[in-house]
Structure 1
């Protein structure tokens, strides 16, 4: 039975079924995927070991500041689909509209990409089975997990993320033994950090290109803001998740890049060919094989399959909750804000599933359409980060301007305003640096394919602003009061 959202429970009528351990692992697992397991090799080949490490360290720091910004807002106002609400409440309702639909679109398309990738991964074992069968199975499985309850989703993500974490720990242990010659037969040491042009290859342009790759790898950390609305104790679990995730990400990513770079020279053709679906030349597979583990390819294929399903599962959850939040905010049809007895917004879930299915079908029926859809979602993650940073900057300024004391906040973002300002600058740098050669060569098709998500967001923002005559909210009029339920932000739409 479907119900309209009410104020009977905190956060409308979705249920706070996510435990602290769920929130921590979801935030961690959200940014550990094929970007680390497979594509990390291409980062080392482009910029060398030193360049890759520099890019990932800088991106890791930026993500940490972004997470603390999100944490300060999420503990003050923990709601599902938080990005749209924060942008609308602290900046401009038109920005909330644009950010919300941008983020929903991003994850709805990502689900379709992931179920397509799952089929390609399955071909490693069963090459003769039609790919669409595996994609259909993956989509049904993800739909059922998200349809049961938020605790079912949380528990599933916990264990899938745990598999990824255990894999990385085993990889680091075996990698260390291989570097010192205990496994693999001979001592390697740091020799690959000094061959040819190493450790830095290609200078700053190469580091910038890896910075872009690293940014995509870290996307998903912002899921902690989505889960806050259904966390049992967001004031405790969100700060805990942010602090834990930062150190785990830095340790996992930096140590992983270090181990790969130490064992496999940046000149290796295998690293140059790294791609999201070529399991045989995954850096993890290569390192395991170098250590003498014959079954490395099959093991890593299973881990990567888990990672892809986990990404699609998180994507379905994030996009469903964003659509639910958009409905509560008056940005989407009211029916999408209805929930069932178990707190699941089924209409939002069904719409997201249909869009993901249609996008997947377009990959078969119209590859050109599919390519444009994927391209349109390419930069949306960075645009969402930009929205989080600017929302927090204005939230904190309004908080102080209105005479509040920082002691009133449950969680304090670190080094304000350095954190959000750094995030804003680096997000712009990454967005502009996606494909600079296209501008230099005046390749308009490539420019459009690469940057199409930017004008789409601007169109959403400007169209909503013109239609509803909204204005940027003055700092003294921003509502910074704490809230523990979904806000109906439609009252802001009149500007």
Structure 2
């Protein structure tokens, strides 16, 4: 069967190389000869070399370097009629292959339950057990309720936008591609880099966090042999090995760990309710309703008023929702039922079967995980506020402000005097139920490590999606060859190169705690905390860019709906409500919801994250909130400078260009199946 090809855009320069229909000799696996006459290695029939950084997809697909034909004129096609263009030969009508070679593809084996558990494992992390107590100390009981609820609504709105595009194009590097195709090519590249950074650094940060949780037990506290040999070395090695298993086995592991995590959460909530009604030998001096008698009480050392404390609480709660969008990163391995022959059809034709295929594997996780996470966070946060007062000295606090509570004071609860831990563990200690606090802390360690395992998976797939269509063949610049090296898979179709690099990129971070300790009162502790917080801010930036991409996509298809309808372009006719409609999913109240979601993301990035500075400037707070924003825009500007591109959105005004763009995305989707 012939490989799928697509026409290059009209704006693609005539003097760049291309493959004519049927394939030129350079496209086949015949040997080539270099200038010295030596025989070179044959090229794969699916690879098309077109300059130092041509992708194996459309020219506008995300890549890390621009197409620059000036550095490799010898690749110009010699086929077809000649025409003098300043020494160049006019190429025949150009086409480009979008099917990657076998070592640049992954297996589509994940079912809906696998996608759901992968997303759940990454979302229900330590934020569930740490952030509720931190927000309670900062802004009081009402702030706990509102912060989780408002951020949950924002996450749901963002996922409505992502889901609609994801159901049409579940492709490698989806979040990066959407921005590149509908907003700006360089911006899409930076979005992909920021997303990889978030989950790669989060993997290391969660390993470091697990060390702080192990320190809860006196026998392991400050034991550098255990920290360095077991926690910082052996555990990441095991997690990397688990990620190296075939996707079928890895999916089962995620289902098992996700199920255990759900059971853990249910057990904790049951005990929280039981403790609130008086279970346990410890006398109840306070009742939950008394803790809510002043719902807007706040930490005056951190904020000047309750509204400021609420804004800061919203910023903190955002960290807990990082991961709801992970289904977009794992969708490239989602199962598509049916034969390959059914899937490889003309992308310009309608296909009703796409709707149930996508809906059965991707849609549920993308739509409902944010809702379930909001419910879990809100209920658990309220239960915490009913079981412990806001000024309890053992609650986790912001490390960079002077608070009104005295940390480390022995309050008679049994909590280690120098350890600030999860509110759930503190409540278990105060209940004096034997070993309950130890069990809860073990739950937290399991949660942190399983979340780290999933974060490594996401980081590897993000890096693979960025590099899998890069051309790293002979004659390409060394940097491009290195980047393309990460876009290959092993014999089990696992992107091991991208995964190992993502694991090692920040593996040195936890080892810093061997010298600086696990607290945040040292320079090393502050550095690790900044890296952790930068991850959540990075995801907010990605959310905002995805909302903008959906807004432009929405207006684009409605602007050209007559042409799209006449050409019968499949899966983008959103306005078509007939029975033969093949549009996979329509999100609610669009485009208003997308505008509100974009506004909400910008509000959290600018206002809520900046609220920590309203009561005085703090270096840690500023760097944690804005360092990645500054780096993001600096990298975007650098790529613009390298590419010689203007700061302008992708032109979506020409209907024929839009049709070619949509068909290109359709072909990439079908090639990935």
TM range, smaller chain: 0.7 to 0.9
CA distance in 1, matches of 2:194, 2:593: 23
> How big is the shift at 1:173?
2.1
CA distance in 2 between counterparts of 1:400 and 1:49 reads 45
Distance 1:342 1:469 in 2: 40
- Contact 2:137-2:391 within 8 A present in 1 as well: yes
Residues 41 and 274 of structure 1 are in contact (CA less than 8 Å); yes or no, is this contact kept in structure 2?
Answer: no
The 3 A distance-change label for structure 1 pair 440 and 256 is closer
Please, which of 365, 369, 379 is the counterpart of residue 537 of structure 2?
A: 379
The C-alpha deviation readout for 1:367-386, integer Å capped at 9, x for no partner, is: 65954655654521211111
CA deviation profile, 1:398-456 (whole Å, cap 9, x unmatched) = 22222153144211222212322222222222222324454775667863454111111
Report if aligned partners of 1:397, 1:475 keep a CA contact under 8 Å in 2.
no
Residues 128-156 of structure 1 deviation map (CA, whole Å, 9 limit, x = unaligned): 34411121011101110111122333222
What's the CA shift string for 1:245-267, capped at 9, x where partnerless? 23321321111111111121223
Unpaired runs of at least 5, structure 2: 1-43, 48-55, 57-97, 299-304, 337-357, 400-415, 471-479, 517-522, 562-571, 575-580
For the structure 1 residues 266 and 30, does the alpha-carbon distance in structure 2 shift closer, same or farther, using more than 3 Å as the test? same
Per the TM alignment, residue 397 of structure 1 is displaced from its structure 2 partner at its CA by: 1.8
Q: Is the Cα–Cα contact under 8 Å of residues 23 and 227 in structure 1 kept in the other structure? A: yes
Match of 1:426 among 580, 590, 600: 600
Provide closer, same or farther for how the CA distance between residues 336 and 294 of structure 1 changes in structure 2, counting only shifts above 3 A.
same
3-state SS of paired residue (1:271): coil
Map 1:265-280 → 2, pairs under 5 A: 265-271=389-395, 273=397
Query: Equivalent residue for 2:289?
Result: 191
- The one of 456, 464, 471 equivalent to 1:316 is 456
- Contact 2:121–2:454 (Cα < 8 Å) also in 1: no
Q: Please tell me whether the aligned partners of residues 199 and 458 of structure 2 are also in contact (alpha carbons under 8 angstroms).
A: yes
5 Å-filtered alignment, 1:17-56, equals 17-56=109-148
Write out per-residue CA displacement over residues 302-351 of structure 1, whole angstroms, 9 at most, x where no aligned residue. Answer: 11111111221112111111111111354872111111121111221222
Distance 1:340 1:79, change over 3 A: same
Cα distance change on mapping 1:356 and 1:17 into 2, 3 Å: farther
Alignment check: 8 A CA contact 1:84 1:99 kept:
yes
Give the whole-Å Cα distance in 2 for the aligned partners of 1:247 and 1:374.
Answer: 24
Q: Does 1:338 align with 2:499?
A: no
For the residues of structure 2 that align with 1:117 and 1:246, how far apart are their CA atoms? 24
Q: Which residue of 2 aligns with 1:401?
A: 559
Of Structure 1 and Structure 2, the greater helix share is in 1
Please show how residues 81-100 of structure 1 align to structure 2 within 5 Å. Answer: 81-100=173-192
Q: Is the partner of 1:30 in helix, strand or coil?
A: helix
Q: Could you tell me which residue of structure 1 aligns to residue 652 of structure 2?
A: 475
Report if aligned partners of 1:33, 1:311 keep a CA contact under 8 Å in 2. Answer: yes
Distance 1:267 1:124 in 2: 21
Q: Deviations over 1:256-297 (max 9, x none)?
A: 11111112122322335489x998742222333455532122
Does the CA contact (< 8 Å) of 1:79 and 1:484 recur in 2? no
What residue ranges of structure 1 are gaps of 5+ in the alignment?
A: 489-495
How far, CA to CA, are the matches of 2:126 and 2:320 in structure 1? 8
CA RMSD of aligned residues (A): 3.2
Q: Which residues in structure 2 correspond to 1:252-271 (within 5 Å)?
A: 252-271=376-395
Residues 30, 279 of structure 1: alpha-carbon distance in 2 compared, 3 angstrom cutoff? farther
In structure 2, distance between residues paired with 1:323 and 1:150 = 17
Q: Residues 90-133 of structure 1, C-alpha deviation per residue, up to 9 Å, x if partnerless?
A: 21111111111111122221122122222333334433344111
1:154-173 superposed Cα distances (whole Å, 9 cap, x missing partner): 22222222222112212222
Structure-2 separation of matches of 1:232 and 1:25: 15
* Structure 1 residue 468: Cα displacement: 1.9
Instruction: Sort the Cα spacing of 1:74 and 1:376 in 2 relative to 1 into closer, same or farther, 3 A.
Output: same
Equivalent residue number for residue 152 of structure 1: 249
Q: What is the match of residue 142 of structure 1?
A: 239
Return closer, same or farther for 1:291/1:251 CA change in 2, 3 Å cut-off.
farther
Partner of 2:302: none
Equivalent-residue separation in structure 2 for 1:355 and 1:454 (angstroms): 20
Q: Equivalents in 2 of 1:359, 1:280: separation in Å? A: 21
Aligned in 2, Cα 1:118/1:152: closer, same or farther, shift over 3 Å? farther
**1:214 corresponding residue in structure 2:** 317
CA distance in structure 1 between the aligned counterparts of 2:369 and 2:621, rounded to whole angstroms: 35
Query: TM (normalized to structure 1)?
Result: 0.88
Other structure's SS at 2:106 match = coil
In the other structure, the counterpart of 1:466 is: 641
Q: CA deviation at 1:225?
A: 0.8
* Higher deviation after alignment, 183-192 or 60-69: 183-192
